[in-house]
Structure 1
Amino acid sequence: NVISEMQLAEWLVAVTEGVLSGKILPLIVFLVAMLIAFATGTSWGTNSILMPLVIPIAAGVSGAEGVLTPTIIASIGAVLTGAVFGDHCSPISDTTILSSMASGSDHISHVRTQIPYAVTAALVAAIVGFIPAGLGVPVWILLPIGVLALVLVVRILGRRVEDALPEAR
């Protein structure tokens, strides 16, 4: 296949060796996946672009090829999560276009209403998930903390629909 013929993954591993730390890799992968998916409007395309590149890099920085290390697992999760974020927020994504059409709303208005929610979840994922995972905190500890963080964000920043609507007063 083309990826193995070009040896891009091997080149990236060689270029990042000694420069890129496994502690920051999941966060970097998350941000790159977000940008690619937002720019292209496709989570599946982002996954197929990044997975063959990220897994060898994560294996290279963790120094354990053939073993699923926490860095590899967190980097795979970062690709998937960033891809879904970018696809969800992208105005050229098929799912975003279909959602605005199905709801009968203005397309750009729909995109603008989705971004704050997605950014909130992305910030929680980065702060509570990918940064600690890169530092070696087990995922089984981070998942409940992430859920709790999202619940707290909703409790602190959320408003009841009746309070938010001007005509309800």
Structure 2
Amino acid sequence: MVFALAGFVAFSTGTSWGTMAILTPLSVTLSLDLDPSGGPGGAICLATTGSVLAGAIFGDHCSPISDTTVLSSRACGCDHLQHVRTQMPYALTVAVVCVVLGSIPAVLGVSPWICLIMGIVALTGIVRFVGKPDSDFESPTERL
């Protein structure tokens, strides 16, 4: 829920830093109250903090009113909404992996290190087997 809330706030406001500033004190304090024995290093607190940060970055990356999105489309000289549409599949893929292999297992008590390894393996597999090479890209070996 924290990931979804952070993503929504960041998408709506266009700022990841503002989202982090708003949601971190609220959600981390709540997570400490939910698990007083775990403390700041407890699994619930770590998962909540990670969800705030990841959701804020996700929402900011997808937001058409984000300063980074506007500036990157202007710097490249491409249509702004086209830039937003082309970034969506990448951001959504990482968000799904983040929630499915990070947040949900953390709630179930899986070690954060195992979640991190599962996420790296999943994203590497997605890039390797689903990704397509850029036909305009010239590798350094082709230049030789």
Structure 2 partner of 1:146: 119
Find the counterpart in structure 2 of residue 119 from structure 1.
92
TM-score if structure 2 supplies the norm length? 0.90
* Identical pairs, percent: 51
2:109 counterpart residue number: 136
CA RMSD of aligned residues (A): 1.4
Unaligned runs of 5+ in 1: 1-27, 164-169
Deviation, 1:156, is 2.4
Q: Which residue does 2:27 correspond to in 1?
A: 54
- In the alignment of these two chains, the number of paired residues is 136
The residue number in structure 1 matching 2:68 is 95
| Alpha-carbon shift at residue 63 of structure 1 (Å) | 3.1
CA distance in 2, matches of 1:67, 1:111: 36
CA distance in 2, matches of 1:136, 1:63: 16
Letter in 2 for 1:103: C
Q: Which residue of 1 aligns with 2:7?
A: 34
| SS of the residue 2:27 aligns to | helix
More displaced stretch, 71-80 vs 150-159: 150-159
Deviations 1:95-132 (A, max 9, x none): 00000000110000000000100000000000010000
What does residue range 80-91 of structure 1 map to in structure 2 within 5 Å?
A: 80-91=53-64
Query: What is the match of residue 71 of structure 1?
Result: 44
Q: TM-score, normalised by structure 1?
A: 0.77
Once residues 152 and 113 of structure 1 are traced to their aligned partners in structure 2, the CA distance between those partners, rounded to angstroms, is 21
Give the alignment partner of residue 162 of structure 1, picking from 115, 135, 142. 135
Structure 2, unpaired ranges of 5+: 137-144
